[in-house]
């Protein structure tokens, strides 16, 4: 067993799969064909038969699947942290209703984001309280399906401007909510001004999923913000930095052979100008470089 479970984000590496019947299933098969990739993250799959096909495949091949509703929630202009109670309740119902889909596709993990923060910074604490209410309602409903709810904190002032937020705020939500865990993302942590290793140390028991995502904090750059850059592109999470973080994450016990997180590189296929198969190979190479840097003869 390694120090992490290597994963591919179908949502990033195989664009537009949600719009074509059978495309997500094919992408998952392509990304995991050689047996190295053991986790995938995909957007919601509309077709019931395709969900069933995916379930059979991932169960036969011991693959973890994170069912990501973030884009579906955003596309439907929903917001789990809305101060508009009618919209908040509609958003909660939408996410809860996706539990059946998650079970059909074989996933025990559903990922969401908070939604946009209020225009006034003064109202963000109120929105965080609404978010906590929403997450508690969803997590309780999901527990009956044996589904774990994952919240990914985004940046709250730099680019995405979501209600959630800092790692500390997210961890407080998890501690207050049964059946809720975190997905940490280096781009959002950096854009929130956080120290990657220190924040991961604090949250490591509540964060089974982790994204290495390159970003630029240079406001003069055309790639400022969370653009899902290649790890080889100029940014604040380039390969040398990722390898150094990885060693430190092993040292603090986050990358561990006894409790292995699902690890993804969040890279936009179209921005990277790489075909999906090329991007998968690129990610596998990065995973293997991390593994080599962490290997200690026993």
The per-residue pLDDT for 268 is: 85
Q: Which position has the token pair 């998952």? A: 28
Query: Is 5 in a helix, a strand, or coil?
Result: strand
Sign of CA dihedral 95, 98, 103, 109: negative
**Tell me, what CATH number does 281's domain have?**
3.20.20.150
The per-residue pLDDT for 216 is: 87
Domain, as residue range, for 254: 5-294
Q: How far apart are the first and last CA of the chain?
A: 13
Dist CA 113 CA 250 (whole Å): 27
The per-residue pLDDT for 223 is: 84
Q: pLDDT digit string (tens) for 116-145? A: 999 998 999 999 999 999 999 999 999 999
Dist CA 159 CA 238 (whole Å): 19
Give how many domains the chain has, as a whole number.
1
Tell me phi and psi for residue 97, to 5 degrees.
-65, -15
pTM of the model: 0.95
Q: Which position has the token pair 């790489």? A: 274
Dist CA 37 CA 141 (whole Å): 30
Whether the pLDDT of residue 161 is over 80: the answer is yes
Dist CA 79 CA 127 (whole Å): 10
């Amino acid at each position: 067993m390694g120090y992490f479970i290597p994963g591919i984000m179908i949502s990033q590496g195989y664009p537009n799969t949600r719009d074509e019947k059978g495309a997500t299933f094919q992408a998952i098969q392509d990304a995991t064909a050689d047996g190295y990739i053991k986790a995938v993250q995909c957007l919601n799959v509309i077709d019931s038969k395709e969900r069933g096909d995916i379930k059979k495949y991932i169960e036969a091949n011991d693959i973890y699947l994170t069912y990501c509703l973030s884009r579906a929630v955003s596309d439907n202009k929903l917001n789990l942290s809305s101060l508009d109670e009618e919209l908040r309740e509609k958003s909660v119902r939408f996410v809860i209703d996706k539990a059946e889909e998650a079970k059909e596709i074989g996933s025990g993990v559903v990922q969401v984001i908070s939604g946009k923060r209020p225009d006034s910074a003064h109202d963000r604490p109120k929105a965080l309280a609404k978010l906590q209410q929403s997450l508690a309602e969803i997590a309780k409903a999901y527990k009956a399906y044996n589904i774990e709810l994952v919240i990914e904190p985004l940046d709250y002032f730099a680019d995405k401007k979501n209600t959630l937020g800092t790692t500390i705020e997210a961890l407080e939500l998890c501690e207050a909510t049964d059946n809720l865990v975190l997905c940490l993302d280096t781009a959002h942590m950096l854009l929130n001004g956080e120290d990657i290793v220190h924040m991961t140390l604090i949250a490591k028991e509540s964060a089974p999923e982790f994204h290495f995502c390159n970003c630029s904090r240079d406001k003069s750059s055309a790639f400022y913000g969370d653009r899902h850059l290649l790890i080889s592109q100029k940014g604040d999470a380039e390969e040398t930095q990722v390898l150094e973080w990885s060693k430190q994450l092993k040292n603090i016990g986050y990358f561990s052979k006894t409790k292995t997180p699902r690890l993804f590189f969040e890279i936009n296929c179209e921005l990277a100008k790489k075909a999906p198969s090329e991007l998968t190979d690129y990610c596998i190479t990065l995973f293997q470089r991390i593994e080599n840097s962490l290997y200690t003869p026993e």
